[in-house]
C-alpha cells in the first residue's frame, strides 16, 4: 500500500486567475492506494457525504484511468468540498503521486500535473491545473499555456472557510467575459508585483499584488460578509486579502506573528454577517508527500 498526504491549495491569488496557485501546509487529504483488478473508491472525512465513490464521478477515478493504474483508492478528506481550497484537486494530485509510485510509472512531478488535471475536468468541466500544480509541486506556482513554473515561497497565510458552499462550476459562470484595457493593465501590474513578492518571500510586496478588478469583485458577491472579512483582515495586519480559488474561503497573506489576530478578525467578520467560519492558520508549504 502507498500513502500520500496531499495539501489544500489556493488558486488565483486575485491577480492570477486560472494561473497562480499556492500549496498550503494544512488542511490536507490522505490518499491510500492498493493494486486491484478495477478501480474502486471509498471516501471518509470532511464533507465525504457529498463526494461520489463512483470512479466516473470522482476526480481520482479519472487519474487512475489516465495512468492505466486500477486500484482501490481510499480518500480521507481533510479538505472540505466546494471550499475554494482545492478539495477535488487535493485528491486528484494525491492519487496521481500515489498511483505513479504504486505502478512504478516513473513520471516526474511536472508530468503528473496534467494527469491530475484530468481529474479536475470531471468536476469543473475543464482540465484547469492551477490547483493541482501547487498540490503536486508545492510553493507558489504559475501555470500558463501548458508551461509550469514553481517558486519555493514559504509565507504565513490564513485561510478562512465559512459554512457556505460555492461550487467551482457555479463560480465560473459569474466570471466576466470581457475586461477594459485599464483593468487589464492593472491586473498585469498586480500579477507581476505578486510574482516578485513570491520570489523574494516578501509578504508586503506579494500582498500588494493580490488585488484584481475583474474576477474577484464578481465572485465576492457570492460570499456573504466578504467585504467585512476583508477589511477586518487588512486592519489586523494582513498584507493582501482575496477570494481563495472560486470561494467561499477567503485567503489572507500575513507577516510572521500576525496570523492569530488576522484569523480572529476574519472569523468575527463572518460572524457579524451571520455566517459560521473556521480559520486555518497555515503557510505556503510543500506539495504532495509520499509516506
Ligand X SMILES: Nc1ncnc2c1ncn2[C@@H]1O[C@H](COP(=O)(O)OP(=O)(O)O)[C@@H](O)[C@H]1O
Residues marked active site are found at: 120, 168
Alpha-carbon gap, residue 19 to 145, rounded angstroms: 9
Residues 122-161 that bind ligand X (CB under 6 A): 123-124
Asked if 71 interacts with ligand X (CB under 6 A), we say no
Asked if 268 interacts with ligand LJ64HWYM (CB under 6 A), we say no
User: Given candidates 10, 88, 190, 242, which one binds ligand X under the rule CB under 6 A?
Assistant: 88
Alpha-carbon gap, residue 195 to 202, rounded angstroms: 10
Cell of 127: 482540465
DSSP string, 269-289: HHHHTT--EEEEEEEB----E
Residue pair 16/251 in contact (Cβ under 8 Å)? The answer is no
* Between 12 and 258, CB nearer to ligand LJ64HWYM: 12
Asked if 85 interacts with ligand LJ64HWYM (CB under 6 A), we say yes
Closest-CA residue to 158 (of 281, 284, 10, 26): 281
Alpha-carbon gap, residue 7 to 1, rounded angstroms: 20
User: Given candidates 21, 27, 81, 209, which one binds ligand X under the rule CB under 6 A?
Assistant: 81
Radius of gyration of the chain (CA): 18
Looking at 28-36, 123-131, 151-159, 182-190, which segment touches ligand LJ64HWYM (CB under 6 A)? Answer: 123-131
Supply the minimum distance, in Å, between the C-beta of residue 135 and ligand X. Answer: 10
Alpha-carbon gap, residue 210 to 212, rounded angstroms: 7
Residues 142-161 that bind ligand LJ64HWYM (CB under 6 A): none
For 140, the 3-state DSSP assignment is: strand
Alpha-carbon gap, residue 243 to 250, rounded angstroms: 5
Contact string (CB under 6 A) for ligand LJ64HWYM, positions 163-202, x = contact: -----x--xx------------------------------
Where are the extended beta strands (E) located within 52-162?
71-77, 140-144, 147-151, 156-162
Residues near 111 by beta carbon (within 8 Å), at least 6 away in sequence: none
Asked if 246 interacts with ligand LJ64HWYM (CB under 6 A), we say yes
* Between 83 and 195, CB nearer to ligand X: 83
Alpha-carbon gap, residue 31 to 25, rounded angstroms: 16
Total binding residues toward ligand X, as defined by CB under 6 A: 23
Cell of 5: 498526504
Residues 174-213 that bind ligand X (CB under 6 A): none
Looking at 78-86, 98-106, 109-117, 142-150, which segment touches ligand LJ64HWYM (CB under 6 A)? Answer: 78-86
Please enumerate, by residue number, every residue annotated as part of a binding site for ATP: 80-90
58 DSSP 8-state letter: S
Supply the minimum distance, in Å, between the C-beta of residue 124 and ligand LJ64HWYM. Answer: 7
Q: Please give the residue ranges that form the binding site for ligand X (CB under 6 A).
A: 50-52, 58-60, 75, 81-89, 91, 123-124, 167-168, 245-246
Q: Please give the residue ranges that form the binding site for ligand LJ64HWYM (CB under 6 A).
A: 11-12, 18, 84-86, 128, 130-131, 168, 171-172, 245-246
Amino acid at each position: 500500500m502507498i500513502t500520500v498526504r496531499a495539501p489544500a491549495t489556493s488558486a488565483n491569488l486575485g491577480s492570477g486567475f486560472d494561473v497562480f496557485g499556492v500549496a498550503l501546509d494544512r488542511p490536507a487529504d490522505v490518499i491510500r492506494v492498493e493494486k486491484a483488478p478495477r478501480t474502486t473508491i471509498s471516501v471518509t472525512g470532511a464533507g465525504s457525504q457529498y463526494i461520489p465513490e463512483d470512479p466516473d464521478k470522482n476526480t481520482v477515478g479519472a487519474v487512475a484511468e489516465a495512468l492505466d493504474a486500477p486500484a482501490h483508492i481510499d480518500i480521507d478528506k481533510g479538505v472540505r468540498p466546494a471550499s475554494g481550497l482545492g478539495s477535488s484537486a487535493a485528491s486528484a494530485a494525491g492519487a496521481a503521486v500515489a498511483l505513479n509510485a504504486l505502478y512504478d510509472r516513473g513520471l516526474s512531478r511536472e508530468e503528473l500535473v496534467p494527469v491530475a488535471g484530468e481529474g479536475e475536468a470531471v468536476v469543473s468541466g475543464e482540465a484547469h491545473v492551477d490547483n493541482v500544480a501547487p498540490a503536486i509541486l508545492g510553493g507558489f506556482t504559475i501555470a500558463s499555456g501548458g508551461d509550469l513554473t514553481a517558486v519555493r515561497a514559504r509565507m504565513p497565510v490564513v485561510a478562512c472557510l465559512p459554512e457556505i458552499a460555492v461550487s467551482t462550476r457555479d463560480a465560473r459562470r459569474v466570471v466576466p467575459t470581457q475586461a477594459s484595457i485599464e483593468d487589464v493593465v492593472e491586473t498585469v501590474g498586480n500579477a507581476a508585483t505578486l510574482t516578485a513578492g513570491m520570489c523574494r518571500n516578501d509578504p508586503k510586496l506579494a500582498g500588494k499584488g493580490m488585488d484584481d478588478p475583474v474576477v474577484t469583485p464578481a465572485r465576492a458577491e457570492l460570499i456573504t460578509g466578504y467585504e467585512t472579512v476583508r477589511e477586518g483582515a487588512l486592519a489586523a495586519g494582513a498584507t493582501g486579502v482575496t477570494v481563495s480559488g472560486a470561494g467561499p474561503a477567503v485567503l489572507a497573506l500575513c507577516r510572521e506573528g500576525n496570523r492569530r489576530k488576522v484569523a480572529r478578525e476574519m472569523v468575527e467578520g463572518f460572524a457579524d454577517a451571520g455566517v459560521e467560519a473556521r480559520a486555518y492558520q497555515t503557510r505556503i508549504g510543500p506539495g504532495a508527500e509520499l509516506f
